[in-house]
Amino acid sequence: MELKVCGLTKTEEVQFCVDNDVNYCGFILNYPKSHRFISLEKARDLTNIQKKNSSYVGVLVKPTNKELEIFSKLNFDYFQLYGNFNKQDLIEVKEKFGKKIIAVIQVEEVKDIEKFKIFEVVSDIILWDSSGYEKSLSWNFNWVRSIKTNAKKMIAGNITLDKLDELAKITDIIDVSGALETNKVKDINKIKNFVTKIKQINNEN
């Protein structure tokens, strides 16, 4: 199982993640409602940190073409896209901007899970997330258990340390943000605990 730490805002957070082989580092680029939102200048600074074995993910909510153009010039490996995209939209983004795609499905009820079929052929990763955007809401992760897809499976939404053993049986990647914070600020010790637990799980499997 791989780990994505999302909503990074400080140099020391990114540096810790890349030094400890966190697989994906996520940055909130165009959504000021989130306390994890960063400016273009900050995003440029943070993505200039040598990423080592990590991948950098630009998280975009209903981005305009201009925003995609601007952020495509930064050192991102992936665009994680929230919004009403169809298959052709994602093909065009991928081809035009040269980024891998994380297609997001916001889950409110079990039938939402099947929406992945619209994008799976053009997505490198499918993310099933809660419907809360900046809020960490829970949903039934077991709905994804039986899904078969060639894209990697990622899950987000109120993921806590005690859920990791079970999630390792369900998904390829977990996407965590709120559980890694203290008073809405990333807590290095909490990130460390997740990294340690995932390494333990992976070593046992």
For residue 168, give every residue at least 6 positions away whose Cβ sits within 8 Å of its Cβ, in sequence order, or none.
1, 201, 202, 205
Q: Alpha carbon of 158 to those of 161, 163, 164, 184, 192: distances in Å?
A: 10, 10, 12, 14, 18
Per 3-state DSSP, the chain is made up of helix, strand and coil in percentages (nearest 5) of 40, 25, 40
Q: What is the pLDDT along the chain (205 residues), one digit of tens a residue?
A: 999 999 999 999 999 999 999 999 999 999 999 999 999 999 999 999 999 999 999 999 999 999 999 999 999 999 999 998 999 999 999 999 999 999 999 998 899 999 999 889 999 999 999 876 555 567 899 999 999 999 999 999 989 999 999 999 999 999 999 999 999 999 999 999 999 999 999 999 8
- Show me where the domains of the chain are located: 2-204
For residue 38, give every residue at least 6 positions away whose Cβ sits within 8 Å of its Cβ, in sequence order, or none.
9, 27, 28, 29, 46
Q: Which CATH number fits domain 2-204: 3.20.20.70, 2.170.260.10, 3.40.50.10490, 3.40.630.30?
A: 3.20.20.70
- Residue 121: which of 82, 79, 150 has the closest Cα? 150
| The two structure tokens encoding residue 28 | 């909130």
3-class SS of residue 37 = strand
| The two structure tokens encoding residue 194 | 């997740």
Q: Alpha carbon of 131 to those of 82, 108, 136, 174, 177: distances in Å?
A: 10, 6, 9, 16, 15
3-class SS of residue 33 = coil
Q: Which residue has the tokens 């780990």?
A: 3
Amino acid symbol at 4: K
Label residue 62 left, alpha or beta by phi (over 0 means left) and psi (-120 to 50 means alpha): left
| The two structure tokens encoding residue 64 | 């305009």
Model confidence pLDDT, tens digit, residues 43-52 = 999 999 999 9
Enter the pTM of the model.
Answer: 0.95
